[in-house]
Amino acid sequence: MNHRVDAPEQAIDFNNENSNTSANPTFDAVLGARLSRRGLLRGSVGSVGTAVLAGFGVTACGGSDDPVVVEPPAAPKLLGFGAVPKSLADVVAVPAGYTASVLFALGDPIASGVAAYKNDGTDGDYDKRAGDHHDGMEWFGLGADGKRNDNATERGLLAINHEATTDEKLSSFFLHADGGTSTLPRPAAEVDKETAIHGIAVVEVAKSTGKWSYVPGSAQNFRLTALSAIEIAGPARGNAQLITKYSPTGTTTRGTLNNCGTGKTPWGTFLTGEENWFGYFTRGAADDAARGNDKSVTSLKRYGRNQGAASRHGWETGGADDKYQRWNNSKTGASANGSDDYRNEMNGMGYIVEIDAYDKTRTAKKRTGLGRFAHESAAFGKVEAGKPLSIYMGDDSRGEYIYKFVSTATWNPADANANDRLAIGDKYMDSGKLYAAKFNADGTGTWVELALSNTAISGYAAYKFADAADIAINTRIAADAVGATKMDRPEWNAVNPANGEIYFTLTNNSNRSVNPTGSQYLPDAANPRAYTDMKGTSAQNGNPNGHLVRMKEGAAVLAFTWDVYLFGAEAGADKAMVNISSLTADQDFSSPDGLVFSKATGICWIQTDDGAYTDVTNCMMLAAVPGSVGDGAKKTLSYTKADGSKMDIVTPVGKAATDSTLKRFLVGPKGSEITGLAETPDGKAIFVNIQHPGEGTAMANVSDATKYQSQWPANAGYGAGKRPRSATIVITKNDGGVIGS
């Protein structure tokens, strides 16, 4: 997320929403091999690597006869690089022997005829430029013919999320010469810039004479913005809750918003998760009564929009045009069904959106079957012929849930190379079952189906579910009904290609407390820490440094076992209650967020979006070579509550990391978070996003570069102007080796 740490209350509200007021037990049920050194490239190393890769459908390559490049079988030692020290410098630091280069920054043109970016607040045409706040990212290989080629290593498309923008008091201030208008109404010209820098970009990149660059004039480049037409697909398509003035049939909407984590389907399309979308909408002060206090009010509250809520940017004040009015999520019309206003507009956001990165003429589809919440990444489990597909997902807000979608259709490997990729998406993602996770204290867990056939849902008193569409739209409420486990803000998840285990980052949670009051709740086995970390003189309470859980499924579809893979912590913190994973100075981190397994090397890349340890270090990326669920031991956290009573929490913790299984690889510039990672199939180039460098800059200093928190990437020699810019970087190894070796 874009995450102004010492941010105004408003930004925190829009980004770190906290509307799970359900009484769900966090303690009920809840309370309750080191990675096989497999080959670096498919087919390159013996039976282990080949079997693993075949099992994951990685062999389903796009239509190319190009031979797979076969490397010598000797696998280089992973994590052979020297750890990058924690740093507060305004640079991207990578290990000795590696080079990080800026590739594609906010405002860079993606169509011929668009002027070079001046970066002084006077630029326009943002729908033909890189958007802001680069986030999740996926690679789509291109052959010499410019068509899909899953083996390509030197030419491809990067599909990039543009999550949000660096803002203060409504305005995305680096986009406007004087910082823009920080009061209502917002001028239309400012709103038009700001809607256009949201969404996603698809941009061609290529390596030529040893150097990577993006291709500004590629005919394959395109953007989707907060206003692009997108189709509603799956169970909620055509539902009454999606009827708007724009789409009286409830089958389309405009825009994708606050795009955070990503995924890539086995058939070669891009998945983007809509995260903190609710903050962009306003609601009238008396809207509850205007709606007759019907169940839409319950829904709006559960999704963070109480009546009277202000919007993050005030886009609804840009003018009378429909493209501004749609941000007003109030009942203003007289119709019974909402076809004359935008009372239902928010129901068009909050999905996993499928986009064909290879074909900009195709309309993207919101896959409502995967549920509606603050989506992060969408990772596929083991892909096996004749079996359903599983997609794992997290809902990033305090105390929200972990989900899994299982397709009705069983996998046909021929679908990997179909020409109509979105039709394959219809087949696997529009029909299936959605589950929420319950973590038991004994290290087991259960997936609970979210369906009307479950009496906990059909009989739920707080919200009367009508049908499957209602569950797809109001997924959080359905998960409340079944008693899913409240987690410490599930961010990205990723599936270990070596063994199919599912890893989730749980970034932090200020609502954990052993003496809970108000909206707080007790720690539990899967979220076992509640402590105080000092940031200077300021106390950070709850679970300020976050952790990673991982899950292992067996033959039973609805059961799993789990452990805590790693706890974020400062190296010097108490090893019994805080630095439980015994992280060293070369390993310590806080607030894990982005999470990607390399298919080339098996490395688990962990990226941070932190506000707790930033007095000591900028955000970072670590390389890990994890083992497997159950490779460690149970640990007991012993708490004494305010009333003097004792509370012991026993939790399974993964095997402690060593300097050959976890090491810091990158530290970013000031004010940035590190997020999104894509790689070439040979593992010799990785693409990483640096989001919101300089976000701690005060809007009043927009024209005084000496007062910017960061001047990156200008200070790295990239582009005009000194205003900080989110950007994609490419990292290569100077000796041409694989990244992370």
Site stretch for Ca ion (CB under 5 A), options 235-243, 533-541, 575-583, 598-606:
533-541
Query: What is d(CA 617, CA 236) in angstroms, rounded to the nearest whole number?
Result: 44
CB 350 within 8 A of CB 303: yes
Residue 341 interaction partner, one of ligand FEO, Ca ion, none, beta carbon < 5-8 Å per kind? none
Interface residue with ligand FEO, options 376, 480, 588, 610 (CB under 6 A)? 376
Site for ligand FEO in 587-606 (CB under 6 A): 593
Query: What is d(CA 472, CA 432) in angstroms, rounded to the nearest whole number?
Result: 11
Site string for ligand FEO, 23-42 (x = CB under 6 A): --------------------
Per rule CB under 6 A, is residue 491 in the interface with ligand FEO? yes
Interface residue with ligand FEO, options 260, 346, 699, 731 (CB under 6 A)? 260
Give the DSSP H or E segment for 206.
strand 199-208
Cis bond leading into 388, ω under 30°?
A: no
Per rule CB under 6 A, is residue 488 in the interface with ligand FEO? no
Is 53 strand, coil or helix?
A: helix
Per rule CB under 5 A, is residue 480 in the interface with Ca ion? no
459: tokens are: 């009989």
Residue 615: Cβ within 10 Å count: 11
Interface residue with Ca ion, options 593, 610, 679, 682 (CB under 5 A)? 593
Q: Which is nearer to ligand FEO, 1 or 142 (CB)?
A: 1
Query: What is d(CA 482, CA 438) in angstroms, rounded to the nearest whole number?
Result: 9
Site for ligand FEO in 138-177 (CB under 6 A): 163
Residue 316 interaction partner, one of Ca ion, ligand FEO, none, beta carbon < 5-8 Å per kind? none
383: tokens are: 């892909």
Cis bond leading into 652, ω under 30°?
A: no
CB 439 within 8 A of CB 32: yes
Query: What is d(CA 134, CA 688) in angstroms, rounded to the nearest whole number?
Result: 9
- Single out the residue of 646, 649, 655, 654 nearest to residue 637, CA to CA: 649
Site stretch for Ca ion (CB under 5 A), options 296-304, 384-392, 467-475, 588-596:
588-596
Residue 533 interaction partner, one of ligand FEO, Ca ion, none, beta carbon < 5-8 Å per kind? Ca ion
Residue 147 interaction partner, one of ligand FEO, Ca ion, none, beta carbon < 5-8 Å per kind? none
CB of 503 to ligand FEO, least distance (A): 15
CB 541 within 8 A of CB 513: yes
Per rule CB under 5 A, is residue 533 in the interface with Ca ion? yes
Task: Give how many residues touch ligand FEO by CB under 6 A.
Answer: 8
DSSP 173: G
CB of 376 to ligand FEO, least distance (A): 6
Per rule CB under 6 A, is residue 275 in the interface with ligand FEO? yes
160 alpha-carbon distance from chain centroid: 11
Q: Which is nearer to ligand FEO, 24 or 591 (CB)?
A: 591
Q: Which is nearer to ligand FEO, 138 or 491 (CB)?
A: 491
Residue number with the shortest CB distance to Ca ion? 593
Query: What is d(CA 632, CA 655) in angstroms, rounded to the nearest whole number?
Result: 4
- H helices of 210-294, in order, are 287-290
Q: Which is nearer to ligand FEO, 350 or 483 (CB)?
A: 350
Site stretch for Ca ion (CB under 5 A), options 95-103, 112-120, 585-593, 732-740:
585-593
CB 738 within 8 A of CB 40: yes
Q: Which is nearer to ligand FEO, 114 or 548 (CB)?
A: 548
Q: Which bin fits 410, alpha (ψ -120 to 50), beta or left (φ > 0)?
A: beta
Give the interface with ligand FEO as residue ranges (CB under 6 A).
1, 163, 260, 275, 376, 396, 491, 593
Give the interface with Ca ion as residue ranges (CB under 5 A).
260, 533, 535, 593
